[in-house]
Each structure stands twice: as C-alpha cells, then as structure tokens.
Structure 1
Amino acid sequence: MRLPILTAVLLAAALPLRAESWDEIVAAARGQTVYWNAWGGDERTNDFIAWASDQVEAQYGVTIQQVKLADTAEAVTRVVAEKAAGQDADGSVDMIWINGANFLSMKEQGLLHGPFVADLPNARYLDLSPGSAASVDFTVPVEGYEAPWRLAKFVMTYDSARVETPPRSMAALLEWSAANPGRFTHPAVSNFMGATFLKQALIELTPDASALQGPATEGNFDAATAPLWAWYDALRPTLWRGGETFPENASVQEQMLNDGAVDISMAFDPASAAAAIEKGLLPETARAYALEGGTIGNISFVAIPYNAAHKEGAMVVANFLLDPATQAHAQDITVLGSFAVLDPAKLGEAERAAFNALPTSPALPTLEALGPTLIEPHPSWMTMIAEAWAERYTR
C-alpha cells in the first residue's frame, strides 16, 4: 500500500540518516584501540584477530588489542564490577566474543550498548528475520545487542582408513561402539565439547525436542532426559577405558584420533579436520561429517558493553567482521575455516565468486552435506545436564 505523501515525508524525516551517522562513527573511531576480550585458546582464531587488527588499522585507523580469556565470564565479571563501582563510562572492555548464558546475563543486567547492529552497513548481508540463527542466541532474542561474526556447527570426525561407514545417529553410534569397544570416547562433560555431545544426543533422543527451547526445570528435566541416560548407560561401558576417564577437551581427543587410540572424534567446527590435516595434526584419511537430521549449530557474536570506552571503534570492528571479503577470508581452511554468517541470497555475483574460489579439501563437508542446523537448547539445559552427568557417573 502507498503511504500518503505527508506521512511518507514525516517518516523519512524521523528515520536516522544511516550513511551520515555511520560516517560520524567512523570518524570518531579513528585513532581508537579496541580492547576485544576473546577466548584465547585457539591459535588460528588469535592469528585471525591479529590479521583483522592490521586490516582495520590500515582502512580505518583503528587498532584491535586482543585480551585473551580462558573464560568469557572473566570479561563479564569485569563489566559487572565496573558498574558496581559506578564506572559508567571509559570501561576497560570494548568488545566481547560472547554467547549464550553470558549474553543473557549481560542483557538482563543492562550491561550492553545498543541496539547497534542495524547501524552497521554490512548488516544488510544478514538474515535478521525472527527465529533466524543471527537473531537468536541460545534461544535468547538478540534484538540488535550483539553482531554475528562466525558460524560453528557440531561435526564428528573419523579416520576413513579404519572406519568404512561411520555412525550417523546416536542410536547407530551406540551400536558401532558396542561392536568396536574402546574405539570411541568424548571430551569430559565439564568441557563445552563434552556437554555439547550430550546435548546433541538429547535432541535426538528426547520425546519432545521443542521443550528444550524453554528453560530446564525440576519439573521437566527428568522426563526429557530419561532416554538420554538410558542410552548413555548402555554406551559408557563400550567407551575408551570403559568410560572411567575422558580426554580433557576436543583438541586432546583429536590427538587421540591422530595417534590411533580412537577412531572417531568430534568438533564444533566443520573445517577442523581439513585444517588439522593441513598442519599435520590428523592423517590425510580423516573426514568430518554431520549426523542425519542435522547437528547443533550456533553463531558466535560480539557485543559491546554499555560503558565501553571505545564504542565507535568496536562498531567499526563489528562491521568489518561482517564484510563479505572478511567472511570469505575467515572461511578459508588455511586461515580459520569458519563458515560465513552471511545470507548467500544477499550476496552479489562477485562476492559469491570469492567464496566459490576458496580452497577445499576431501575432509571438508559441503554446506549441503552438513544438513540442517539444529538450534541450541536453552542455556539451562547444558548446566543441568553437566550436573546430572557428574552426579550419575563420577560418584
């Protein structure tokens, strides 16, 4: 329907002049150093952030200083402490690589700057429709308070020289592990990867997966997880070392796959096997694959604290991370191997060509082979699953 001319004029006057506003943000950002608090446990990610700093400094006069975290909660705690001390400006944290429970905590406490995503010119490449992966973070609506920057997805990795047909469901995995005792394990459930493995199994085995999109409670937890524990009770005795001990994290399990101690590993990165082969950390015969029906996936986001000293610089960095050229560079398996967060339908011909020209590998699954992306359960499920697992199996 066409708007009356006067109404259209008034609406146009009320809308922000995004181009001019963005120019002002870019001008204010020049000379700023953005303290990006990001998990520092992955060498490829650290190298990518260093590359991004070189790029934004050359293009915008903005520098990135990575503050390497062992746990994202460290940065959240710092912002909470600053607010308690009345430091509502010039905060020490400019940007945080954040997800899930930490984002929810900051959002509920009013610790986030924004909404700002709509102000980023490169947000036009995103699918921000309600319920899309870029608009929901562990079931929590983003509402413009954090910007996507990389896509993660659960995959299994196997050595095709030792496993001809890998199991493609949790039920099939139980059968395979029973037939091949000691050749499979998972990271400790206290680790994110181990808990994600159990969440993936829960989605497949629970009677009503839609219930996982709401909070886990004492009232719904037992019924939802009963099939999971029955399955795991049968799986555990077949695991490496009888399920009495577990690798510390996914990197340790990947090393076990390389050493031939197990035949199957797992990761939250579809390109991890291809990247590991490039570095000589896995045999050429390693292959990554997704389970039938899809696997858990989520988008990693960056958020800006409400009291950040360099909000403009942080917005420039967030926008740079969404540039199609940046996303293509990040997807390169020799760089980072993270699948793009952009909507392919919104890319131009030249931008799509850049992605199509990226190096590939037999170990790298295609986007089609990865299948559907299953939305993460509410953050409370991971917490309660880890606690219940520890109570059941570490007494």
Structure 2
Amino acid sequence: MPPHLPHLTRRHLLLAAGGTALPSVWAQASAPWAEVEKAARGQTVYWNAWAGSEQTNAYLQWVAQQVKGAHGITLQHVKITDTADVVKRVRAEKAAGRAAGEGTVDLVWINGENFAAMKREGLLFGPWAEAQPNFRWVDTAGKPTTLNDFSVPTEGMESPWGMAQFTLFADSKRLPQPPQSMQALLALARSQPGRITHPRLPDFHGTTFIKQALVEFAPDRQALAKPVTDATFAAQTAPLWPFLDALRPHLWRGGKQFPLNAAAVRQMMADGELLLAITFNPNEAANEIAAKRLPATVVSWQFEKGTIGNTHFVAIPYNARARAGAQVVANFLLSPAAQARKADIAHWGDPTVLDVARLPAPERALFGTGQLPGLVKSPAPTLPEPHASWVDPLEKAWAQRYGA
C-alpha cells in the first residue's frame, strides 16, 4: 500500500503557511513578509496552471483550501494546456500598456523556454522567490536546477515547486533487461522492431527524448549550456541525426507516425503494443501501479550515466493584480506539508525540491519512506537541460526531417 500522510494538525498548517505560531527552529517571519501576508489577505489569485492530470487538479484544489483557511486567499485555478499561451497573453498586455496591478495572471506554472522568454522580455515581477520564509529549506546544493532553469539563472524571478527527471518504465516480464543508454535502446529497437516510439514533437516528452539523445551524443556538452548559435547547433547535433536516422525505421509504424503524447505511449505499453514508455516524473509508474492501471511487475529506471532533469517553478507576471497573494501561495507550496503531500503517490507523486534531511524531525516524518513497486531503485545522475534557446531550433529541425 502507498504511504499516506499523517493527519495535518493546525500546527502543520500554520507551518505550511509560513505563519508565526511555529517552533523556534522555524524563524519568525520578518516584518516585510508579515506585510506581504497582511496585503495578501482577501485577495483572489488567478493561477494559470496545466490541467492535464486529475491528480494535479485535485492537488491544486487542496492548496486552494489551505490558503483560504490560513490566509483568506481565494485561489482560482485557470486551467491551461500550454504555458506558451500565457506568455503570449502577458506579452500582449505589456504591449497594450497594462501596468502593475492591471494584469489577468497572478501566478503561472512555468519553466524552460517560457521562463526564458518572460525573463528576457521583462514580463516577470521580482526578484522575490528567495525572500520566502520556506525557501530556506530548498535543496539548492543537491538540486542545482532549483536555481537554474534550462541553464538560465532564475535570479529570484521564479520559485521552485517540483523536480523532474527523464525516466523509462516497462513490464519486467516483457523486458527483463532494460536498455541503459540511447545506443542500447537503438540495439533493442533493431531486435524488436515496431515496439518502441516516442511522442511526436513538439510534445514535451517527445522533445525531451530527442534532447536526451542530443546530450548523450554531443561532442561538447558545455556548449549546450550556452545560448544556441547556428554554428554550435550544427556541431553539437551532427551525431544526433545519424542516430535518429538509424532508429526511425525500427520505431512503431516505421517511424512514419508518432503518438500525440506520453499518455498514449503509456497506454500502448500497458496494452503490450510497445515495450517501454517514457515520463518526466520518476514516480509515474508507481502512481499507475497504485491506481491499478499498471501491473506491479512494471519497473522504472534511468540510464546508468544519467538522464536529463529539471525543476518546475511558479512565477509572478510583472503586472499581477494579487502580487502579495501570489507570493504567499508560492511560499505555501514550498512548505513541508505541501511538498510532502505532493510527493506522496496517493496524491500526486511529484518529487520534492526540499532538502528533507535538513528538516526538523516532525516535518521530515511527513515524507513517506520505503520502496514501492514501480519506483526507480537506483536513481541516476541528473544531466542538465540544454539552454532554453536550443528547444525551438531542435523541434524545427526534427519536424523538417521526420515530421512529414
């Protein structure tokens, strides 16, 4: 059975909210933060966030209940399918001259090229993230992507919320020896034609699959951490295209068609049509097993030498109406109570950004332990994402070669 969080007492909720009725180890909120909390009370925060998961939506509803009770904040989940649409909206508002306090977005779930664009174009409020009381517990040393988003320094302009890492999963009955690299995956595809694929780009998981191959084969990984140029793109992708050319004819339907998203790939794996599926949540297979949508024989793994990983964040647009309320919500999201509930596969299973070992014992106990079916047994090193500027040319080049 999956671990369940203990009952959240009033003390835990106060702790989660960054309130003042806390033990001495949790420093009292500073006067400026107290002013933020005071200004937040009674505000309505419009949080634009992806809505493609029932578990995610339910978790956001729980967050709304907690911040309403602790701070009198009304949190409205504005359900979106693509964060790029939010970037376009805020960009249009700036072009129309909407100043601070006149925007339609108070908080946005964001990372990668969308954050890079908003930061570059001056569409974000900040810096503010590192002033949150709960930011002190973020594992910035062990999880450096909490301070660098696709190789773009966050500089306090967004607050970390959860971790992700490219992970594969398969039924061990059908695939007893999982491939441990992209080269090994190619060998498997050759031996089992038609039983491996990835989502069609620009689906996020499809792009990540290609980026994983890019990182593995790039002659100079350091070049990937810098803004892309025509010259570096040509040099670093030179080994990628021969690999994809060799892989394509052995993919599902000869690489002439690709599933729309990772959920479709997962279902095809569950039905036995495919050998493996991919995810960016290391706990996804465990979630599916717990929900009895996958058998307990499914295992998850990451390539021995590492897989791409990153952090997802929340940010506040420059013209947010409920700027104070958005900060208080973000601080709650970093609380041990909120992070533990999010990490629990019974609720979501999204890995925490906190350094759990540094938490006081009562808060550390909120995080479940144990090896559940489907969890990654031997986590691999996290490889940094290429700079956000690589995504667009990579997707366009893939589409030109394989998208027709």
Give TM-score, length-normalised by structure 1: 0.91
Aligned partner letter, 1:384: P
- SS of the residue corresponding to residue 239 of structure 2 reads helix
Per the alignment, residue 382 of structure 1 pairs with: 391
Distance in 2 of aligned mates of 1:388 and 1:25: 46
- SS of the residue corresponding to residue 370 of structure 1 reads coil
Per the alignment, residue 293 of structure 1 pairs with: 305
Aligned partner letter, 1:46: N
Aligned partner letter, 1:191: D
Q: Is the 8 A contact 1:255 1:281 kept in 2?
A: no
Per the alignment, residue 344 of structure 2 pairs with: 332
Q: Which of 79, 84, 92 matches 1:68? A: 79
Please tell me whether residue 392 in structure 1 is matched to residue 392 in structure 2. Answer: no
Structure ranking higher on relative contact order (CA contacts 8 Å, 6+ apart): 2
Moved over 6 A (4+): none
Aligned partner letter, 1:283: P
Distance in 1 of aligned mates of 2:83 and 2:398: 23
Q: Is the 8 A contact 2:132 2:331 kept in 1?
A: yes
Distance in 2 of aligned mates of 1:284 and 1:128: 34
Aligned partner letter, 1:186: H
> Aligned pair in 2 of structure 1 residues 382, 83: CA closer, same or farther (>3 Å)?
closer
Distance in 2 of aligned mates of 1:235 and 1:111: 40
Per the alignment, residue 5 of structure 1 pairs with: none
Aligned partner letter, 1:252: A
Q: Deviations over 1:325-384 (max 9, x none)?
A: 1111100011110110012343222222222x3575220114xx2221111101222221
> Aligned pair in 2 of structure 1 residues 115, 313: CA closer, same or farther (>3 Å)?
same
5+ long unaligned stretches in structure 2? 1-27
Q: Is the 8 A contact 1:332 1:359 kept in 2?
A: no
Aligned partner letter, 1:363: G
Please tell me whether residue 45 in structure 1 is matched to residue 56 in structure 2. Answer: yes
Deviation at 1:141, TM superposition (A): 0.7
- SS of the residue corresponding to residue 363 of structure 1 reads coil
- SS of the residue corresponding to residue 308 of structure 2 reads strand
Please tell me whether residue 92 in structure 1 is matched to residue 92 in structure 2. Answer: no
Q: State the superposition RMSD in angstroms.
A: 1.7
Deviation at 1:276, TM superposition (A): 1.2
Aligned partner letter, 1:371: A
Q: Which of 225, 229, 242 matches 2:237? A: 225
Distance in 2 of aligned mates of 1:150 and 1:283: 26
Q: Percent identity?
A: 50
Q: Deviations over 1:157-176 (max 9, x none)?
A: 11111111110111111111
5+ long unaligned stretches in structure 1? 1-16
Q: Is the 8 A contact 2:152 2:388 kept in 1?
A: no
> Aligned pair in 2 of structure 1 residues 186, 297: CA closer, same or farther (>3 Å)?
same
Aligned partner letter, 2:69: A
> Aligned pair in 2 of structure 1 residues 363, 129: CA closer, same or farther (>3 Å)?
closer
Per the alignment, residue 13 of structure 1 pairs with: none
Distance in 2 of aligned mates of 1:393 and 1:135: 35
1:133-212 correspondence to structure 2 within 5 Å: 133-212=145-224
1:244-263 correspondence to structure 2 within 5 Å: 244-263=256-275
Per the alignment, residue 37 of structure 2 pairs with: 26
Distance in 2 of aligned mates of 1:276 and 1:325: 23
Q: Is the 8 A contact 2:139 2:146 kept in 1?
A: yes
Aligned partner letter, 1:232: L
Distance in 1 of aligned mates of 2:70 and 2:178: 46
- SS of the residue corresponding to residue 261 of structure 1 reads coil
Deviation at 1:92, TM superposition (A): 1.1
Aligned partner letter, 1:22: W
- SS of the residue corresponding to residue 144 of structure 2 reads coil
Give TM-score, length-normalised by structure 2: 0.89
Aligned partner letter, 2:384: I
Please tell me whether residue 35 in structure 1 is matched to residue 79 in structure 2. Answer: no
Q: Is the 8 A contact 1:254 1:282 kept in 2?
A: no
Deviation at 1:394, TM superposition (A): 3.4
- Which stretch has the larger CA shift, 273-282 or 26-35? 273-282
Distance in 1 of aligned mates of 2:394 and 2:188: 24
Per the alignment, residue 83 of structure 1 pairs with: 94
Deviation at 1:203, TM superposition (A): 0.7
Distance in 1 of aligned mates of 2:207 and 2:338: 31
Q: Deviations over 1:232-257 (max 9, x none)?
A: 11111111111111111000000001
Aligned partner letter, 1:61: G
1:291-370 correspondence to structure 2 within 5 Å: 291-355=303-367, 357-358=368-369, 360-366=371-377, 369-370=378-379
Deviation at 1:118, TM superposition (A): 2.4
Aligned partner letter, 2:403: T
Distance in 1 of aligned mates of 2:31 and 2:350: 32
Per the alignment, residue 278 of structure 1 pairs with: 290
Deviation at 1:128, TM superposition (A): 4.0
